[in-house]
Amino acid sequence: MLIGCASRSENVAATYVSPIAYQSYSCPQIRSEAARVSSRAATLAGAQDSKASNDAVATGVAVVLFWPAAFLIKGDGASAAELARLKGEMEAIERASVEKRCGVEFRRS
């Protein structure tokens, strides 16, 4: 039954994004894009973690008290897919930053 539960944000794997997309960016553009992507990823991570917590509660209720509560479990969806893409973009931005010596690094939690 836990298979359908939403994943915690730290367990959503990055989708590959090529750093070539950022090859023509200047360091200020890379920094700006890093801030935009990081902000959106943080927002989605919070939403994903909330969804995971809600699914865990619904699973507990379904197992212990009331099996129809299992229908409240949403699982991973569009937010997890977008978070995976953003994590991939963050990795690509970091690689482009290293190549151009821009100094952009994302904090890992």
Least Cα distance to 106 among 37, 6, 50 occurs for 37
Give the angle subtended at the CA of 15 by the CAs of 14 and 17, to the nearest 5°: 115
Q: What is the pLDDT of residues 28-66, one digit of tens each?
A: 999 999 999 999 988 888 887 777 665 555 445 444 444
- Model confidence band, residue 82 (pLDDT cutoffs 50, 70, 90): confident
